[in-house]
A and B are shown apart, each in its own frame.
Chain A
Amino acid sequence: NAGVTQTPKFQVLKTGQSMTLQCAQDMNHEYMSWYRQDPGMGLRLIHYSVGAGITDQGEVPNGYNVSRSTTEDFPLRLLSAAPSQTSVYFCASTRSGRTDTQYFGPGTRLTVL
């Protein structure tokens, strides 16, 4: 059982480049999220999805796009990378219940020069 997988593990971009961070889960979870983790700021929610075809903005959505065409996949797109987007990105999934545990991927460390 793979759980939540993310690729790549590390990425270096130049300012203005675009890229997609991949996330997949094999637990048939409805709910998927993207977070960024920065020193001293904890985890901040970027975008989330409550099911295929449904996405919504989180706390810090600017500069990021998402789509959810299947239950399994939830890619995060950086349209024009900026140094402020240097961070560690985590994808997570869960069933939608109030008591359900959220499962996290291993993270992608992104550096924008």
Chain B
Amino acid sequence: GNSVTQMEGPVTLSEEAFLTINCTYTATGYPSLFWYVQYPGEGLQLLLKATKADDKGSNKGFEATYRKETTSFHLEKGSVQVSDSAVYFCALRSLTGANSKLTFGKGITLSVRP
């Protein structure tokens, strides 16, 4: 079956530090890959996505590249801000229609200090 593995957290960084959050996956077929973000007290919202190998998703300074050879979709940001403090979830979706379910990693909490 499908699975998503995220690095263990939490992660605490100082403002303007470089961020990498690792995500690897196991899936049947050709999955689409997603990063969702959950700000305190809110639901999840899409941060970025990539739908085929070598695609790069980007949004709000965050980037992630779909690497089929290493089955990875690591999230990066060059300079984090306090407002980036949130929980980040990696997810995949591999099929269309009735069998199409989103599989999530466990999430990682990021705290950014001023």
Contacts and interface: CB of A to CB of B under 8 A. Distances in A.
Interface of A: 4, 31, 33, 40-43, 45, 48, 50, 54, 58, 90, 92, 94, 96-107
Given A42-B89, A101-B34, 15 more contacts: A42-B106, A43-B104, A48-B101, A58-B101, A90-B44, A94-B102, A96-B96, A98-B30, A98-B51, A98-B93, A98-B100, A101-B46, A101-B49, A102-B46, A104-B44
A31 B100 contact: yes
A42 B105 contact: yes
Contacts of B94: 98
Nearest to B100: A96
Given A98-B93, A98-B95, A101-B46, A42 B107 contact: yes
Interface string B33-57: 0101000001111100101000000
Interface in B62-114: 89, 93-98, 100-102, 104-107
B32 interface: yes
25 contacts: A4-B43, A40-B106, A41-B106, A42-B89, A42-B105, A42-B106, A43-B44, A43-B104, A45-B102, A50-B97, A50-B98, A90-B44, A94-B102, A96-B98, A98-B30, A98-B96, A100-B93, A102-B34, A102-B102, A103-B46, A104-B36, A104-B44, A105-B43, A106-B42, A107-B43
A45 B51 CA distance: 22
Which of A92, A97, A103: most chain B Cβ within 10 A? A97
A104 B93 CA distance: 16
A79 B46 CA distance: 32
A60 B15 CA distance: 39
